[in-house]
Structure 1
Amino acid sequence: MAELNRPERRQCVECGREDSWDDSTHNWRIAGEEGRPFCIHEWDINGSHNPIRN
């Protein structure tokens, strides 16, 4: 059976904000203090992440 390979971190390409995945809340959390609060975040999704583990 295939298993999901969830990303653990993401970074906005516009303001640099980094988020990390929190397993306890099943949600993204702000990982650092960088970034703009009113940025419409553009996450670096380039197709290199494989969401399915073999």
Structure 2
Amino acid sequence: MMAELNRPNRRQCVACGREDSWDESDHNWKITGNEGRPFCIHEWDINGSHSPIRE
């Protein structure tokens, strides 16, 4: 049995608050909420609680 990836569908920058969600039809991230600061080098809220493999 092959492992299945558990992709995130939402992310938020911890520096400026920009919120993105995954658009399955475009296969790309889209800004959905707070647009944040235009020149921020985004640091996404990846804290280790997300499991990349579905069991």
State the TM-score, normalized to the length of structure 2: 0.89
Question: Gaps (5+ residues) in structure 2?
Answer: none
State the TM-score, normalized to the length of structure 1: 0.91
Q: Shift of the alpha carbon at 1:33?
A: 3.7
Question: Gaps (5+ residues) in structure 1?
Answer: none
The more displaced of 2-11 and 29-38 is: 29-38
Aligned to 1:8: 9
The more displaced of 26-35 and 1-10 is: 26-35
How many residue pairs are counted as aligned between the two chains?
54
Aligned to 2:30: 29
